[in-house]
Amino acid sequence: MKHISPILLLLAALLVTACTSDDTDFSDIINDVVEPVVVAVDSTALAEQRDVVVTDPTAEAYNDYVENSTFNRTLLIRYAGEQATVSGTVSGVTVSTNGAHVTVTSTVGRLNLRLTGASSNGSLKVYSENKYRLSLEGVTLTNPNGAAINNQCGKTLYVVLADGSYNTFADGTTYADVDDEDCKGAFFSEGQVVFSGYGSLKVEARGRHGIASDDYLRFRPGGRYYVHATSGHGMKANDGI
């Protein structure tokens, strides 16, 4: 006669006890009928009213409106693959290019930088003692080694999206940093940035933040903004958005 192990008998007893003591009643769950819910999706276009320009010089927001300043010293920067060309000359402004990487140094006010074209290895870096305007007129820039737009000016940067334009900026996964200079995103500014206009701006950030400012960011009605960041914030500002 074969002998059954005491351990097996104990396990069998425990299993029987566990099964017979489970008195959970699932009848309510089984008998319930789940009714599907129809979700209505609003796919209509976003219709924002045009921004009313603040014209009172004493108002707090007065300086956030590009319409209240004159920017009549213009340079056109056109990107084309591995090269960038600059049209126009402005006294007090120097421009250097390294392939499609453009550096602008300005000691004067009323500067308007117009950007157009495309480069998969290009960027714009600006040193300015005064606020200036950056007009995006259909530009696509990717900088594999850092920010596509690097504003080292601590004054207001007015970014104006040309009507109907589509603009794209992207950074690289690694940055070639410069000593004593911040550069925290694919679109970075030391000073406050005010976005306006009726175009589109897309920022793809793979190394740091998407749009970043060491001051504040303001987005006026009318533009379309798409920001995707895989290693930082989509938008980051020290003094608010």
Across 46-50, 77-81, 140-144, 203-207, least confident range: 46-50
- The verdict on residue 87 lying in a domain is yes
Give the burial string for 152-181 (b: 16+ CB within 10 Å, else e): bbebbbbbbbbeebebbbbbbeebeeeeee
- The verdict on residue 213 lying in a domain is yes
Specify whether the backbone of 164 is left (phi greater than 0), alpha (psi in -120 to 50) or beta: left
* pLDDT at residue 44 greater than cutoff 80: no
* pLDDT at residue 31 greater than cutoff 70: no
Q: How far is CA 139 from CA 142, 156, 226, 227, in A?
A: 10, 21, 15, 16
Share of the chain above pLDDT 90, in %: 76
- The verdict on residue 179 lying in a domain is yes
- The verdict on residue 36 lying in a domain is no
- The verdict on residue 27 lying in a domain is no
219-222-153 Cα angle (round to 5): 35
- Dig out the tokens for 46 from the structure: 């976003």
Total of domains in the chain: 1
* pLDDT at residue 126 greater than cutoff 90: yes
**For the purposes of burial, counting CB atoms within 10 Å of the CB of 138, is it exposed (0-12), middle (13-18) or buried (19 or more)?**
middle
Query: What's the chain's average pLDDT?
Result: 89
Range of the domain at 92: 62-237
